[in-house]
Structure 1
Amino acid sequence: MLRIGSLCSGYLGLDMAVETIFADTELVWVADIDRNAIKLLGHRAPNIPNLGDVKQIDWNAVPPIDILTAGYPCQPFSTSGRRKGENDPRHLWPYIYQAIRVLRPRITLLENVAGHRSKGFDTVLGDLAEIGLSAQWVSVRASDVGAPHRRERVFIAITDPACGFAEWKRAGPESPIADSSGIGGGRRGEPDSGSCSTGSPNSTDRRGENAWGEFLPAVQEWERRTRPAPWIAEPNRNGQPRLSPRFVEWMMGLPAGWVTAPELGLPYYGQLHLLGNGVIPPQAAHAIALLLDMIAIGSTENPCG
């Protein structure tokens, strides 16, 4: 059983991807301070301790793990922000690094915006080299796995070069496209089936005309890989259309209701915030599979214990 520790957990998108790739995993702890993430984690990862603020954790007191995941904040490196990098108060790499240094997981899997490659990435690689760890990285777009948007992200796998992965058995194909209908089951609970209906047309509107216009092929492709698309808009309290979080949830490759189920009690903007900061599980699973292939080429046949 591979034990997973999750930092900056959000809605657990990166952890879903890990479960897609590796057989026999167990999530043993999470860490997030966002109030909406805390609510979601309480429903989707019940009875799993939330370690809270990564800046305050005593890593010497944390249970050991095999796999560490972290989709640490992208704002310091995002092109949509001011790109303050290490000067941004949301810059959490020093604390992620301390977790890696103390816990020494067999593999650490990180996710961030593509802009991280040109800002702050040299620090990450230098810090890892100082403690004898190596990193492989790959950039993958959401559209690479059939999603109807680009959303390029860099994924990083950190390992001890003296350790191999020969005995690690993957749960699925080498380069899987995750089946969203299967994400979120088991110990994390199923989304409420009552929240799964779209209540709106998928590929055509009520008049039988194409409701998606030029985007129809992209929508249909993602539907084929995941589930029927909810409508893009919903009415606000004044009856005016606004972006539907259920549509964004679908775009992110999540099961219906994973973030938007009423029983979670998340407000409209809280849902969008979580979704906007989240990881697309099929995209991450594909990236992790690619990274494992890269690691396997140079690994030894004697894995560390």
Structure 2
Amino acid sequence: MTWSADLLEQLEFYWTFHFRPRLAGLTDDEYLWEPVDGAWSLRPVGPGGALEPEFLQPEPPIPPVTTIAWRAVHIGRDVLGKRARAFFDPDAADADMYDARHWPAALPGDAAGALAMLDEGYRLWHEGVAALDDEALLRPLGPRGAAYAEDTMAKLVLHVNREVMAHGAEICLLRDLYRAYADRRDPVVAAALRGDAPAVARATADGGAVRPTLVAEAAGLHHWDVVRALVAAGAPADGALHYAAGAGELEVVTLLVEHGADTGAVDDRFRLTPAAWADYFQHPEVAAYLSR
């Protein structure tokens, strides 16, 4: 095994199990959401109105909050895409890794385009690094490294890993904030997530809609009275059974099964059944009930 495999494994794990799954369901509104006044985003510039991320040089002492769009473009184009083409594309322009010619494509104004750009940038970088041997990793970057010409490729790979993780974490946080902003405007969701079962019952009685994942979300937070209230209101029990089983809540497990929860379903992350969750978290009575 070469060092390139070890260095890539760090990025692969983060990308595959942490970052990329967190982008599922990204909407255009969320992609361009500006959480505060003065946020940096993608703005049309020049006669043609091409989108570019806002930026100042030198940076302000406290850089503004950015949108998901800004961070996604920075990761997909600047961190991964330009560098991949600068160092691994045999037909690349004779220019350093910051040169715009390494990524001439228009920047995405919507979520689908952003995800495609991220995936393409990651693919190009991953394939390039995977092909390096130890000797290539220890070779200086040369002129394409610009001010970092004397740094080794290994140092650049480590830097890219850090950059993707740092900016990826910012995107994940922005998604959390966007979801929380939307959730607090929905009386059923807001009550469920704060564990207020009576308020959930009132809101559903008043005709409030229940999103399909809400019972599972409440179960994941161990808001068992909320789970009961939602099930009583006719909400689907899908996804909640694993959490109740893992917590050893036999009464809630029984309720969910009686309302149609699938005892044979496997979760997306570990590919285990509710009985396996109960067994793992040492709740033999629940595991036995689910294994009948």
Q: TM-score range by the shorter chain?
A: under 0.3
Between structures 1 and 2, the one with greater helix share: 2
The structure that is strand-richer by fraction is: 1
Structure 1 length as normaliser, TM-score? 0.24
Q: Which protein has the larger Cα radius of gyration, Structure 1 or Structure 2?
A: 2
Q: TM-score, normalised by structure 2?
A: 0.24
Larger RCO: Structure 1 or Structure 2 (Cα < 8 Å, ≥ 6 residues apart)?
1
